[in-house]
Structure 1
Amino acid sequence: MKLPAIKGFDEEAFNKYLKNTGWLMLARVGSLVIKILVGFQISNYLGKNLNGILNFPAAFTTFFVAAAALGLDGFTTRELLRNPEERDRILGTAFWLKLMGGIIIIPLIYFTYILWNAQKSIETPISYILIVGLTGITQAFYITDSYFQSKVQAKYVMRVQVIGNILSACLKLTFIFLALEVKWFVFALLLDTIILAVGYIYFYQAKVGSIFKWIFDSKLAKYLLQHSWPLAFSAILVSVYMKIDQLMVENYLGTGALGIYSTVVSLSESWYFIPVAIVTSIFPAIMNAKRDDPERYMKRLQNMYDIMVWISLSVAVFMTFASPIIYHIVYTPEYWDGAAVLSVHVWAGIFVFLGSASGQFLIAEGYTKLSMLRTGMGAIVNIILNIIWIPKYGIMGAALATLIAYFTATFFILLIPKTRQQGIMMLKSLFLITAFQKIFKN
């Protein structure tokens, strides 16, 4: 089936890579619908206080789990594109590095909890934190996803995610039906990652080859770590400026407020799969264009920024008007204060979409340290504004801080001469300049 042409786009490349993106979109849309519907049920079943306790472990461990990944996923995809014949060596080395990272973070999570709890009593038990922390180990098996992305074979990823989310949803609904305690829902967070890991390995074994042929190469490990550590540190900083608001809401306002705010974040960030799916699928095309045709390379980047703005702006406008309706229909009254907060928080998605797209440019150009720097700037802004605004404005202050922090991180590249052109290109997309140029061209 041939997809329809879109004026101003490279039709051949657009058809090829949008088809792959379509598989990812199908998987993520299915997952989105399932997660949202089940999330409504879980939130209402637990109530805002227990819902806060359920969401705290994920927010607390996210920094450590991001560190355990070592920034290897995207970099592994790049290496597989460059050296496909070294598949087993690249995947094997990346897998063992991620596995060791997942093991190392467990004691770090434990001691950090002890120190945090000494300053302020945490309602969430340490056992819940450690259970979710184990996801750092299971994510090591996700490395097979890098192979499928390098081959533009997202349909296998789609199947795993759809099946995994259906199983996860059935399990959680069963817990609600049986009126089980919150700890069972915490176990389910770990089980979700195990299901996905098993699925990825199954399709790799069936379609590619045995994981037992993977080889750990210490020389390659050193090379991967030398080049991926800025991405790893950047991932930690990303988790800081995307999750620190939830920890600070709990710290200043308690688990009840976190329970409400977590519903806001869940609905707002549920759309963030879109830029990830798009840039993951288009990344091979961008890398090929960079190698073969600089003009086409820049054109594809601009087109990617345009797509990101069109989609994210549509989402933001829709959710702004729909948020009161959503909350009054699907949530109990104790959650209704989240509606106004969602109408603000959702606009941060525009900068997440653009940031994901420009991040591919930074990787393609080898500006990994700059990627880390801009993320760090966003994290600093988020922390400072949360300290000032949460005590004053409550969870609305956290949403405003997130909005400003995401804008800062995305457009920080305007301050750097070698990346300023990309910042200007994003601004053209943001203010719909390139969109009107495409519409009125010729």
Structure 2
Amino acid sequence: MNQAWVAYLPAFLRKKVEGRHELQKVLTNTGWLFGDRLLRMGVGLFVGIWIARYLGPTQYGLLSYAASMIAVFSAIAVLGLDSIVVREIVREPESEREILGTVLTLRLLASFSAYILTVATTLLLRPDDRLSQILVAVMGWAMIFGSFDTIDLWFQSKVLSKFVVYAKNTAFLIASIVRVVLVVIKAPVVAFAAANSLEFGLAAIGLCYVYRSNGQMISHLRTSWTLARRLLRDCWPLVLSSVIFMVYLRIDQIMLGQMATSHELGIYASAVKIAEIWFFIPTAIVSSVFPNIVRAREVDEKEFYNRLQKLYNLLAFLGYAIAIPTTFLASIVVYLFYGEAYASAAPMLVLLIWSDVFANLAVARNTFLMAMNWTRVLLVMTFLGAAANIALNFWWVPKYGGIGAAAASLISYWFAAHGGCFLYKPLRRTGGMLTRALIYPRFW
């Protein structure tokens, strides 16, 4: 049976999707995820800009430093299990309660450990900065609440993301209202850190509710320590890879905070915020198509690679569609969003928006590595990208500040997503596929 929205498509598109129920299900799921991200993009950008204008570059830089520290260590809390869990539930649906229960237990343990490590590292790096220490300690609770995102993986495996959208958007909207109130009453910067943790706490409650409304119960989940050992054995390269990935995703802001000033970091963070608005696009698409790509590998290798090439083509096209106009409009966008105080963020935004093209392709390429269970290859590729980013930041940040950090991100993202594929023979085919996508991107 066709989804209701199919009837409203133009004739040429309707012919492509009519009767293709799996494709319709994927498109419906992707639509919900896009709706979620569009709402967050609109409301989140508006509220975020208001907060940045209110706090000013220096305090906004401090808040961004705390968020970057937490982002790096949150990779430990997540344990890199997302794709593994979806893959295992697709393959063994009869074991889904044991899989989810085990992963939830592991993530709760890992998140508490990550929280302690984050606070300890901040004390080490900024022993005399009491405000940064408090911001990290308050905002770090988001990692613990985030453990309940494990429930989201069940909905992903069923391609039913609309329920997750309900739960997380409700939490997001409540937290956004709180943030607006904080600006109006001129609250201190610590209050905004607390609002971030509040959002994750409300999202955890919402996920438990929608999981129950779909006939599932948290109390029915089981923990298997045998399965836990197997999952940890499979995921440790992903944990390392996720930590390394978050290092090279956020090391620029941490190093700016350490080697430059909080003001410079605030300027740079405003450019990052605009560039990262679009990160939801590859994530939403890949989370919807990943189960079908896994199934294609099981039955038809040619179709498996055909679907991967289409995914690469699409994400390259979307990356260009965003990067090209932003290149010419960066100054206007920064001025309209953040005002004159943040004007120097424009050239940083240009470099960062082009790094998004390669970030898109990295997300798609990682789908291939996960489907092949090449987790160690993913670890090596991510490590090389992180090493390049750290080296370039050490070289350029002291000389060029935020511009140097943005340039380092662009080069290291390209290397980790595309250039590095040609260093490893089994990935050269993938490198060629990515090259074709960059040269001849297509929407369909």
The residue number in structure 1 matching 2:86 is: 77
Q: Does residue 330 in structure 1 map to residue 321 in structure 2? A: no
Match of 1:203 among 193, 210, 214: 210
Q: CA offsets per residue over residues 229-268 of structure 1, 9 Å max, x none?
A: 1111111011000000001111121111111111111110
Deviations 1:146-182 (A, max 9, x none): 0000000011122223222211211100111111111
Cα distance in 1 for residues equivalent to 2:355 and 2:234: 30
- Matched residue, 1:425: 433
Using the TM superposition, give the Cα deviation of residue 300 of structure 1 relative to its aligned residue in structure 2, in angstroms.
0.5
The aligned counterpart of 1:49 is 58
Structure 2 unaligned residues grouped into runs of 5+: none
Q: Shift in Å at residue 114 of structure 1? A: 2.4
Counterpart AA for 2:159: V
Which of 199, 218, 223 is 1:216 aligned to? Answer: 223
Alignment partner for residue 263 of structure 2, among 256, 260, 266?
256
* Mapped contact 1:66–1:236 kept (Cα < 8 A): yes
The aligned runs of 1:308-327 (5 Å cut-off) are: 308-327=315-334
Letter in 1 for 2:162: K
CA distance in 1, matches of 2:218, 2:70: 28
* Aligned residue identity for 2:68: A
2:67 matched to which residue of 1? Answer: 58
Evaluate the alpha carbon distance shift between residue 6 and residue 422 of structure 1 in structure 2; reply closer, same or farther with a 3 A threshold. Answer: farther
Contact 1:57 1:124 in 2 (8 A): no
Instruction: Look up the match of 1:353.
Output: 360
After TM superposition, the structure 1 = structure 2 runs for residues 246-395 of structure 1, keeping only pairs within 5 Å, are 246-395=253-402
State the shift of 1:420 in Å. 1.1
When normalised by structure 1's length, the TM-score is: 0.94
- Matched-pair contact (CA < 8 Å) for 1:28–1:158: no
Aligned pair in 2 of structure 1 residues 68, 300: CA closer, same or farther (>3 Å)? same
Question: Contact between 1:56 and 1:124, CA under 8 Å: does it hold in 2?
Answer: no
The equivalent of 2:125 in structure 1 is 116
Aligned to 2:30: 21
Q: SS at 1:125's partner residue?
A: helix
Letter in structure 1 aligned against 2:109: M
2:421 to 383, 407, 413: 413
Amino acid at match of 1:199: G
**Equivalent residue number for residue 156 of structure 1:** 163
Q: After superposing the two structures, state which structure 1 stretch, 71-80 or 403-412, moved more.
A: 71-80
- Say whether residues 1:245 and 2:261 are aligned partners: no
Q: 331-340 or 236-245, which moves further after superposition?
A: 331-340
Measure the CA separation in 1 of the matches of 2:91 and 2:429. Answer: 27
Deviations 1:188-216 (A, max 9, x none): 11111112111111100111311011111
Counterpart of 1:67?
76
Q: In structure 1, what is the Cα distance between the partners aligned to 2:58 and 2:215?
A: 46
Question: How many residues are matched?
Answer: 434
**Alpha-carbon shift at residue 423 of structure 1 (Å):** 1.1
Describe the SS at the equivalent of 1:336. helix
TM-score of the pair, normalised by structure 2: 0.94
Q: Which residue of 2 aligns with 1:102?
A: 111
Give distance in 1, aligned partners of 2:388 and 2:375.
20
Shift of the alpha carbon at 1:111? Answer: 2.3
RMSD between aligned residues: 1.9
Cα distance in 2 between the residues matched to 1:327 and 1:418: 42
CA pair 208-326 structure 1, distance change in 2 beyond 3 A: same
Match for residue 243 of structure 2? 236
